[in-house]
C-alpha cells in the first residue's frame, strides 16, 4: 500500500520536472528558433484537430452510436461543403507552417480529405473508422519524420543559445543574463495577455450561463441587471487572483494601467523627468508584495474579495504618494524660476489640490463603512501623511512666489523653507514610527508571516533610520554653515559708500551688507551659506573658507574681479577689526580645543605677530 500511494506523487513530480525542463529549453531559445518552435507546435495542433474532426464526424453519423449527440447523417448536403472547406484550411495551414514541398503537400491534403469523401459517399461505419485511423496514422508518421529531420537543427540551436548564455553569465553576471531573458520573452506582456484572455473567457461563459438561467426561469431580458452584473464582476475578480500565476497576471495589468496613468500625469503637469516614469514598475511590485504578505490567493472566495479591496486601498494611497513625488519638483521649479504663466502653474496646482482632497474623501468613506482596525489605521495614516506633504509643498511654493514678487532679496527665505520642510519631515518620521508599531501589532496578533517581517525591517531601515540620519545630517550641515557665515567679517553698505561689486554666486548687487571670505571675495550671506552646504571652499578661487594663518599671510587682497581693493575705508576696517573677529569667530575643532594652555599661548602670540605683519603690509600698500 505505501508503494502504491507513492507512485502518483512520483509521476506528478516527474511530469513537473519535464515541464520545467521544457520551459527552460524554450526560455533559452533565440527569437528565430522560438518562432519556429511555435510554428511547429501550431502545426501539431492543426493536425490533431483535423483528425479529431474526422473521427467526430464519423462517430456522430452513426445512428446506432451511443455517443451520437447531433444528426450528422450525409443526407444533408449542406454539411459536405463546410467539412471540405475546413479540411482544406487545415491542410493549407499545416503545409505552410511546416514548409512542406509541393509534391508531398498534395498528398497531405488528399489524406485529410479521404475521410470526408468516405462520409459523403456513405460508406459503412467500419470502413469510415478505418479511413480515419489510416489518415491519422499517415499524418502522424509524416509529422514525426519532419520533426526528426529538424531535430538536429533544434539541438544545435539550443546548444548555441546555452553557450551564449553561459558566456554572458561568466562575463556580465546573472543580473544581465536575467534582464536579457526578461526582455526577450516579454514576460509582463505574456502575463497580461494570459490574465485578460482568461478573464474574457470566463466572462463569456458566465454571461452565457446567466442567460440560460434567465431563459429557463422565463425571463427574457436582453441585458443583465445591476445585481447580476455586480455579482459577475465580483466572481471574475475573485477568480482573477486565485493562484500565484493569476496574481502575477493581475500585477502585469496593474503595471500597464499605472504606467499610462503616470505618463498622462507627467504630460499634464509638463514634466520630462525619466525617473518619474517608474510608476508602472512600483505599483505592480507593491501589489504583488501585498498579495504575498496577506496570503491573497490562499483565502476563501469571500475573504479574498475583502482582502483584495483592502490591498487596493493601500495601493491607491501608495500611488498618490508617488504622484506627489512627481508633482513636487515641478511645483518647486516653477516657483523658484518665477514663471508667471498661469497655464504652467494651473495643472500642477490642480493635481496638488486633487492629492489633498482625494485622501480626505477616501478616509471619510472608509470610516463611515468600516470599524477601526489595523488596516483602516494604516490607510488613514497614509492619507494624513499625504495631506501633510501637499500642505508642505504648497507652503514652500507660496514662499517662493512671494519672494519672486518682490525685487529685494529675502535673506530669511531659506530659513523659513527649512523650518517648513523640517516640520513636515519630523511629522512624517513620527508617522513612520507609528506605522512600524501598527505593523508589529498586526504581525504578533493578527497575521504574522516572514514576508511581513522582512517588509517591517525594510520600513524600519529606509523610512525610520535613513530618514533620521539624513535629517540630522542636514541639521548639522546648516548649523556648521551658519557658524562659518557668522565668523566671516561683514561689510555694511551705507548710502555714501556702496560696494563696487556684485555677488559672484547670484550676480546681484549688494544692497544691505556682504560677507568677506579670507581670500577677500564678496558674497551675500544667503548665497554663501547655500554654497557652504555643499563644500567648504570659496566659489571664486576654491580656497578653503577656514585657512591656516600662514596661508592668510600670503593671501592677496582682491575683490570678485581679481584686482586689488582700492577702498581705503574697507581696508582700514579690515585692519581695525577683521583679525580680531576672525580670531574670535574661529571654529576650533575637537583636537584644537583639547590642547594645553601652552599651545594656546603660542597660538595667541602667532596671531599677534600675524596682525602686525598684516598692518605693515597695508601701510605699504597705502604708501
C-alpha–C-alpha distance, residues 578 and 555, integer Å? 14
How many Cβ atoms from other residues are within 10 Å of residue 554's Cβ? 7
Average pLDDT over residues 478-487: 76
Three-state SS annotation for 341-354: CHHHHHHHHHHHHH
Q: What is the pLDDT of residues 60-93, one digit of tens each?
A: 665 444 444 344 444 444 567 788 888 888 888 8
Mean pLDDT check: name the lowest of 326-335, 480-489, 569-578: 569-578
Q: Which pLDDT band, with edges at 50, 70 and 90, does 324 fall under?
A: very high
Average pLDDT value over all residues in the chain: 76
3-state secondary structure of 224: coil
Q: Which pLDDT band, with edges at 50, 70 and 90, does 254 fall under?
A: very high
Give the residue with greater pLDDT, 255 vs 27. Answer: 255
Please write down the long-range contacts of 108-113, taking CB distance under 8 Å and 24 or more positions apart.
Answer: 108/139, 108/142, 111/135, 111/138, 111/139, 112/50, 112/54, 112/87, 112/88, 112/139, 113/84, 113/87, 113/88
Q: Given this model, what pLDDT does residue 351 score?
A: 94
Is pLDDT of 463 > 60?
yes
Q: Given this model, what pLDDT does residue 367 score?
A: 93
- Name the most confidently modeled range: 212-226, 375-389, 465-479: 375-389
C-alpha–C-alpha distance, residues 319 and 393, integer Å? 17
How many Cβ atoms from other residues are within 10 Å of residue 572's Cβ? 12
Q: Which pLDDT band, with edges at 50, 70 and 90, does 342 fall under?
A: confident
Indicate the pairing of strand 490-492 with strand 513-516: antiparallel
DSSP 431-496: HHHHHHHHHHHHHHHT---HHHHHHHHHHIIIIIIHHHHHHHHHHHHHHHHHHHHHHS-EEE--SS
Is pLDDT of 35 > 90?
no
Q: Which pLDDT band, with edges at 50, 70 and 90, does 488 fall under?
A: confident
Q: Which pLDDT band, with edges at 50, 70 and 90, does 145 fall under?
A: confident
CA distances 517 to 300, 487, 586, Å, are 72, 10, 13
Q: By percentage, how much of the chain surpasses pLDDT 70? A: 76
Give the residue with greater pLDDT, 477 vs 365. Answer: 365
Q: What is the pLDDT of residues 396-424, one digit of tens each?
A: 999 888 888 777 667 778 788 888 988 98
- Name the most confidently modeled range: 9-18, 88-97, 120-129, 144-153: 88-97
C-alpha–C-alpha distance, residues 104 and 101, integer Å? 6
Q: Given this model, what pLDDT does residue 131 score?
A: 86
How many Cβ atoms from other residues are within 10 Å of residue 414's Cβ? 18
- Report CA torsion sign: 35, 37, 38, 43: positive
C-alpha–C-alpha distance, residues 390 and 425, integer Å? 12
- Name the most confidently modeled range: 64-78, 226-240, 580-594: 226-240
Is pLDDT of 236 > 80?
yes
Give the residue with greater pLDDT, 121 vs 136. Answer: 136
Q: Which pLDDT band, with edges at 50, 70 and 90, does 566 fall under?
A: very low
Can you name the residues that pair with 360 across neighbouring β-strands? none
Q: Which pLDDT band, with edges at 50, 70 and 90, does 20 fall under?
A: low
Name the helix (H) or strand (E) containing 292.
Answer: helix 279-294
Find, among 237, 293, 245, 297, the residue nearest to 453 by Cα: 293
How many Cβ atoms from other residues are within 10 Å of residue 418's Cβ? 14
List of residues 6+ apart from 18 with CB closer than 8 A = none
CA distances 292 to 4, 72, 128, 142, 405, Å, are 36, 52, 55, 48, 52
Average pLDDT over residues 524-536: 78
Q: Given this model, what pLDDT does residue 287 score?
A: 94
C-alpha–C-alpha distance, residues 104 and 45, integer Å? 19
Average pLDDT over residues 536-562: 59
Average pLDDT over residues 536-557: 62
C-alpha–C-alpha distance, residues 124 and 58, integer Å? 10
3-state secondary structure of 85: helix
Exposed e or buried b for every residue in 156-178, given b needs 16+ CB within 10 A?
A: ebbeebeeeeeeeeeeeeeeebe
Is pLDDT of 446 > 50?
yes
Exposed e or buried b for every residue in 109-128, given b needs 16+ CB within 10 A?
A: bebbbbbbebbeeebebeeb
Q: Given this model, what pLDDT does residue 317 score?
A: 94
Amino acid at each position: 500500500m505505501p508503494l502504491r500511494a507513492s507512485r502518483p506523487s512520483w509521476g506528478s513530480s516527474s511530469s513537473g520536472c519535464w515541464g520545467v525542463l521544457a520551459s527552460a529549453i524554450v526560455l533559452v531559445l533565440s527569437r528565430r528558433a522560438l518562432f519556429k518552435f511555435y510554428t511547429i507546435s501550431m502545426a501539431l495542433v492543426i493536425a490533431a484537430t483535423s483528425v479529431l474532426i474526422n473521427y467526430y464526424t464519423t462517430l456522430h453519423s452513426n445512428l446506432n452510436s451511443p455517443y451520437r449527440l447531433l444528426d450528422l447523417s450525409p443526407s444533408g448536403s449542406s454539411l459536405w461543403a463546410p467539412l471540405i472547406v475546413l479540411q482544406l484550411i487545415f491542410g493549407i495551414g499545416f503545409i505552410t507552417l511546416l514548409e512542406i514541398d509541393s509534391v508531398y503537400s498534395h498528398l497531405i491534403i488528399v489524406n485529410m480529405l479521404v475521410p470526408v469523401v468516405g462520409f459523403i459517399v456513405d460508406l459503412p461505419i467500419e470502413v469510415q473508422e478505418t479511413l480515419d485511423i489510416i489518415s491519422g496514422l499517415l499524418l502522424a508518421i509524416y509529422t514525426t519524420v519532419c520533426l526528426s529531420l529538424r531535430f538536429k537543427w533544434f539541438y544545435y540551436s539550443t546548444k548555441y543559445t546555452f553557450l551564449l548564455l553561459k558566456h554572458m553569465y561568466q562575463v556580465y553576471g546573472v543580473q544581465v543574463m536575467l534582464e536579457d531573458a526578461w526582455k526577450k520573452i516579454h514576460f509582463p506582456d505574456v502575463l497580461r495577455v494570459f490574465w485578460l484572455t482568461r478573464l474574457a473567457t470566463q466572462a463569456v461563459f458566465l454571461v452565457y450561463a446567466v442567460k440560460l438561467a434567465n431563459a429557463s426561469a422565463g425571463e427574457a431580458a436582453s441585458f443583465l441587471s445591476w445585481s447580476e452584473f455586480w455579482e459577475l464582476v465580483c466572481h471574475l475578480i475573485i477568480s482573477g487572483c486565485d493562484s500565484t500565476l493569476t496574481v502575477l497576471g493581475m500585477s502585469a495589468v496593474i503595471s500597464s494601467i499605472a504606467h499610462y496613468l503616470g505618463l498622462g500625469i507627467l504630460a499634464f503637469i509638463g514634466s520630462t523627468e525619466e525617473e518619474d516614469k517608474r510608476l508602472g514598475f512600483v505599483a505592480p511590485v507593491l501589489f504583488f508584495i501585498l498579495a504575498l504578505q496577506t496570503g491573497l490567493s490562499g483565502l476563501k472566495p469571500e475573504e479574498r474579495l475583502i482582502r483584495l479591496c483592502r490591498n487596493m486601498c493601500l495601493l491607491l494611497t501608495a500611488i498618490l504618494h508617488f504622484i506627489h513625488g512627481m508633482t513636487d519638483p515641478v511645483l518647486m521649479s516653477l516657483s523658484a524660476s518665477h514663471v508667471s504663466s498661469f497655464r504652467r502653474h494651473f495643472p500642477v496646482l490642480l493635481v496638488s489640490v486633487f492629492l489633498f482632497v482625494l485622501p480626505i474623501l477616501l478616509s471619510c468613506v472608509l470610516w463611515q463603512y468600516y470599524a477601526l482596525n489595523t488596516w483602516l489605521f494604516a490607510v488613514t495614516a497614509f492619507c494624513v501623511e499625504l495631506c501633510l506633504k501637499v500642505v508642505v509643498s504648497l507652503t514652500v511654493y507660496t514662499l517662493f512666489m512671494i519672494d519672486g514678487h518682490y525685487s529685494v532679496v529675502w535673506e530669511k527665505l531659506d530659513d523659513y523653507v527649512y523650518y517648513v520642510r523640517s516640520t513636515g519631515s519630523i511629522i512624517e518620521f513620527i508617522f513612520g514610527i507609528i506605522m512600524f508599531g501598527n505593523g508589529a501589532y498586526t504581525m504578533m496578533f493578527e497575521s504574522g508571516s516572514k514576508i511581513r517581517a522582512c517588509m517591517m525591517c525594510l520600513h524600519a531601515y529606509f523610512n525610520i533610520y535613513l530618514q533620521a540620519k539624513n535629517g540630522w545630517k542636514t541639521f548639522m550641515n546648516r548649523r556648521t554653515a551658519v557658524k562659518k557665515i557668522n565668523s566671516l567679517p561683514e561689510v555694511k553698505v551705507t548710502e555714501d559708500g556702496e560696494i563696487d561689486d556684485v555677488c559672484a554666486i547670484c550676480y546681484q548687487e549688494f544692497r544691505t551688507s556682504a560677507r568677506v571670505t579670507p581670500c577677500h571675495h564678496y558674497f551675500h550671506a544667503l548665497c554663501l551659506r547655500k554654497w557652504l552646504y555643499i563644500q567648504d571652499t570659496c566659489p571664486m578661487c576654491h580656497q578653503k573658507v577656514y585657512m591656516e594663518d600662514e596661508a592668510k599671510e600670503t593671501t592677496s587682497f582682491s575683490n570678485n574681479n581679481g584686482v586689488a581693493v582700492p577702498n581705503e575705508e574697507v581696508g582700514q576696517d579690515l585692519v581695525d577689526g577683521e583679525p580680531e573677529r576672525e580670531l574670535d569667530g574661529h571654529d576650533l575643532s575637537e583636537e584644537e580645543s583639547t590642547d594645553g594652555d601652552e599651545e594656546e599661548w603660542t597660538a595667541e602670540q602667532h596671531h599677534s605677530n600675524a596682525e602686525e605683519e598684516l598692518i605693515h603690509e597695508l601701510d605699504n600698500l597705502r604708501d
